[in-house]
Structure 1
Amino acid sequence: MLSRKELQRYSRQIMLPRVGEAGQEKLKKARVMIVGLGGLGSPVALYLAAAGVGELHLVDGDRIEISNLQRQILYKTNHRDKAKAQVAAQQLSAANPEIRVHPHDNLADESWLRDRLGDIDLVLDCTDNLETRHAINRVCRALRKPVVMASVLGFSGQLISFDFAAQQSPCYACLFPPSADREVQNCSTAGVMGPALGVVGSMQALEAIKLLLGLPVASLSQLQLFEAESLELRPLQLQGNNDCPVCSNP
């Protein structure tokens, strides 16, 4: 049941026929984990909190650095050297006191994820660490949790979602098989355009809300490639991989 305050706060969202009060109640009951509170996690967390997702779990073991502020819009200069998860929780709780926010000031390794994802409805991978992304993929598939994954490097972004409740769903390892000798660049080594993270993070939040509402999701098993320089968005359908080390070895 939505309170009077909630009806007022979310009124512009509730008036959408595909949301309504029933949809807003779904969002209120949802428990979502956001892994990574940087350039993607910042807009994702802000939009999910504003939309009224009832319970947010924020996972990041880093501290805020001055170089983060060009793109990580949750933080201010006076937050320097503080824990990202703690500051993000304070910011989101101040923005929307109607929701519950739980900070986790640690890295999300595979063991920790398995222990914590039991009652989570949806996971958002907002990391720039390939090892963590593969761990999220493996655990979400094993526990049949839906996940929305995104990344941005330079001017280029990627977005894809998986609903692992579906038996035949491919996974992230079908697209990018894990490789111990693969060197992968990230924001720290190659640079990134801040607004490109904002665009892709907003798309990631949008897909998450649609998943929670049971609406069609354009990125479901379909890689969305975004080029900020040309404002081009190009879909690439993902097929299952019979040699996938995750899917072929359930």
Structure 2
Amino acid sequence: MLSDEQLLRYSRQIMLPEVEIDGQEAWLNSRVLIVGLGGLGSPAAIYLASAGVGHLVLVDDDQVDLTNLQRQIVHTSDRVGEPKVESAKQTLAALNPDIRIDTLASRLEGEALIEQVEAADLVLDCSDNFTTRFALNRACVATGTPLVSGAAIRFDGQISVFDSRVPGAPCYQCLYAEGEDEALSCSESGVFAPLVGIVGSTQAAEALKVLAGIGEPLVGKLLMLDARRMEWRSLKLRADPACPVCSAK
């Protein structure tokens, strides 16, 4: 049962016919794992917190650096040197004290990764390396947890939803083979600041849709953005029958 304060706080989305009380309660009762509190994780976490996702688990082993502040909007100048998860928690708690926020200032690996993914209703991959992306994908396929994946480099972004609960849906490794170029990162290649805001916000939108059963999530689709021209493209994805992760599931 929503309190009077919650009804007021979330009133603008409760009035949406697709959301109403049931959708808001679905968000309040959800646990979301956000891996990476950088350029993508910043806007994604802010919008999930403000929308009222009841339990956020923030994972990042890095500290806030001055070079982050050009795009990582969940952090502030006075928090340079602090763990990113603690900096993010301060921002999110101030924005919405109504939700629970847990932090893990370490890399999730092995059993700890499986446990966190299994406990979550949905995972946001906001990481910046393929090793983490492949590990998250394997854990999500193994546990049947929906995965919302985003990436941004230079002026190019992409978003997709991988949900092994949907028959015939591809997983992340159907799209990318292991052994991709790990050097392709913002620190090496640069990134257009608003791009990560657009991609991270879209990840939040897809997560909210999946959690409340709204509309058509980007399952089996890859949404690609060229921010130079502000042009979007949508590609259909198919499961790889030879995928080493999901083909035998």
Query: In the alignment, is residue 233 of structure 1 matched against residue 242 of structure 2?
Result: no
In 2 relative to 1, CA 184–171 (structure 1 residues): closer, same or farther, beyond 3 Å?
Answer: farther
Query: Which segments of 5 or more consecutive residues in structure 2 lack a partner in the other structure?
Result: none
Q: How far is 1:161 from its partner?
A: 0.2
Structure-2 separation of matches of 1:92 and 1:66:
20
2:190 is matched with which residue? 191
Greater Cα offset, 166-175 or 1-10: 166-175
Query: Could you report, residue by residue, the CA deviation over 1:142-184 in whole angstroms, capped at 9, with x for unpaired residues?
Result: 00000100000000001000111224221111110112x7444
Amino acid at match of 1:169: A
- TM value normalised by structure 1: 0.96
Q: How far is 1:243 from its partner?
A: 2.1
Query: Could you report, residue by residue, the CA deviation over 1:55-102 in whole angstroms, capped at 9, with x for unpaired residues?
Result: 000000100000000000011111010000111112111110111111
Q: What SS does structure 1 have at the residue aligned with 2:118?
A: coil
Native 8 Å contact 1:226 1:234 kept in 2:
yes
In 2 relative to 1, CA 189–205 (structure 1 residues): closer, same or farther, beyond 3 Å?
Answer: same
* Structure 2 counterparts to residues 39-58 of structure 1, below 5 A: 39-58=39-58
1:214 is matched with which residue? 213
Query: In the alignment, is residue 147 of structure 1 matched against residue 144 of structure 2?
Result: no
Query: Sequence identity of aligned pairs in percent?
Result: 45
* Structure 2 counterparts to residues 19-38 of structure 1, below 5 A: 19-38=19-38
Q: What SS does structure 2 have at the residue aligned with 1:74?
A: coil
Native 8 Å contact 2:28 2:55 kept in 1:
yes
Query: Could you report, residue by residue, the CA deviation over 1:11-41 in whole angstroms, capped at 9, with x for unpaired residues?
Result: 1111111100111111100100100000000
- TM value normalised by structure 2: 0.97
In 2 relative to 1, CA 183–78 (structure 1 residues): closer, same or farther, beyond 3 Å?
Answer: closer
1:98 is matched with which residue? 98
Q: How far is 1:118 from its partner?
A: 2.4
Structure-2 separation of matches of 1:244 and 1:167:
15
Q: What SS does structure 2 have at the residue aligned with 1:118?
A: helix
2:13 is matched with which residue? 13
Structure-1 separation of matches of 2:90 and 2:111:
27
Structure-1 separation of matches of 2:216 and 2:194:
23
Structure-2 separation of matches of 1:155 and 1:110:
34
Structure-2 separation of matches of 1:146 and 1:120:
9
Native 8 Å contact 1:10 1:51 kept in 2:
yes
Q: What SS does structure 2 have at the residue aligned with 1:158?
A: strand
Native 8 Å contact 1:110 1:136 kept in 2:
no
Query: Which segments of 5 or more consecutive residues in structure 1 lack a partner in the other structure?
Result: none
Native 8 Å contact 2:210 2:217 kept in 1:
no
Structure-2 separation of matches of 1:14 and 1:114:
33
Q: What SS does structure 1 have at the residue aligned with 2:57?
A: strand
Cα RMSD, aligned residues only: 1.2
Q: What is the number of residues matched between the two proteins?
A: 249
Q: What SS does structure 2 have at the residue aligned with 1:102?
A: strand
Structure-2 separation of matches of 1:205 and 1:110:
26
Q: What SS does structure 2 have at the residue aligned with 1:64?
A: coil
1:205 is matched with which residue? 204
